[in-house]
Amino acid sequence: MEETSTIEKSHSGYDRMSEVKAFDDTKLGVQGLIENRVTKVPPIFHCNEHESNSSSKPKSKFSIPIIDINSGIIGDDVVEKVKDACENWGFFQIINHGIPVHVLDDMINGTRMFHEQDPEVRKRYYTRDLSKKVLYVSNFSLFQEPYVNWRDSLGISMAPNPPKDEELPQVCRDIVIEYSKKVKTLASILLELVSEALGLNRNHLQEMGYGDGFVVLCHYYPVCPQPELTMGNSKHTDNDLITILLQDQIGGLQILHQNQWIDVPPIHGALVVNIGDLLQGICGDFGRYRWN
């Protein structure tokens, strides 16, 4: 109870939880603030100085591995590179992965179009009911965290039981379907690579059912009038098996490596693979999960 009280009233006379609820009730997310022409970041988004400065200046002497996965043709050299990247980094970028660049570009554009569409259309999808196959929300843990991230998200559960086509937002429906099919195929290849890197049968992880679930998360970070006061994403690890991340060309992704924050510069046409908590839990030190 004392911790909740501290979070709710971070300033004398300021009822933070009421402000958070009022923000959530708009069902328009952070983008709604921009559409209403805010010029100052509301206090609920203010993060403490220690965490906002914790990334300091990234060191340039490190860079995460870039692996050519040869369109899914699995060879010993690729398996060894994946093994090394998992053990020592927990992150790597992949190229020659079989997904056309235009599909990646269209997916980024589709994400932007969803979040920038007419607010009244967008808010129809806003919900905190995680059982929904399609949901739009600002900050999944909005009421649990000490501050709100400057980020909105569209989440779509595409496997094992995907939504009907007509349930998907019209503005990005076609590209979500196309992108999801191709990423699901790529995920199968990555699970085979990781299985072999573990010294297991190629199909081991998939036979255990770890490839059955698949969620597409489309994060959006609106332009911020005071970026020094808030964060787009708090320091975290991912609680899944693997994450396949498509960056836009703005960048901003950092990972913690040897106690230093490292920039992961976007490479047009590449994808970032992140080893999640679940794989690390299954395999011990093999899957070195990373803060990002």
* Whole-number average pLDDT of the chain: 88
Residue 2's pLDDT band (cuts 50, 70, 90): very low
**Euclidean distance between CA atoms 277 and 292, whole angstroms:** 12
Average pLDDT over residues 154-174: 98
User: For a pLDDT cut of 70, what percent of the chain falls above it?
Assistant: 87
pLDDT of residue 60: 54
Given its phi and psi angles, is residue 96 left (phi above 0), alpha (psi -120 to 50 degrees) or beta? left
Q: Whose structure tokens read 């992880």?
A: 205
Q: Is pLDDT of 185 > 90?
A: yes
Per residue in 94-131, pLDDT (tens digit) is 999 999 999 999 999 999 999 999 999 999 999 999 99
Average pLDDT over residues 232-250: 87
pLDDT of residue 1: 36
Provide the β-strand partners of residue 159: 214
Which amino acid is present at 287? G
Q: Which domains does the chain have, with CATH numbers?
A: 16-286 (2.60.120.330)
Largest CA-CA distance found in the chain, in angstroms, rounded: 63
Structural contact between residues 189 and 196, judged by C-beta atoms closer than 8 angstroms: no
pLDDT of residue 3: 39
Q: Is pLDDT of 282 > 70?
A: no
| Dihedral sign computed on CA atoms, order 257, 258, 263, 264 | negative
Task: For the full predicted model, state whether its pTM sits above 0.95.
Answer: no
| Dihedral sign computed on CA atoms, order 44, 49, 54, 59 | positive
Written as six digits, the tokens of 35 are 């559409």
pLDDT of residue 287: 52
CA 253 vs. chain centroid, Å, equals 10
Average pLDDT over residues 180-201: 94
Of the candidates 268, 264, 222, 221, the one whose C-alpha atom is nearest the C-alpha of residue 243 is: 264
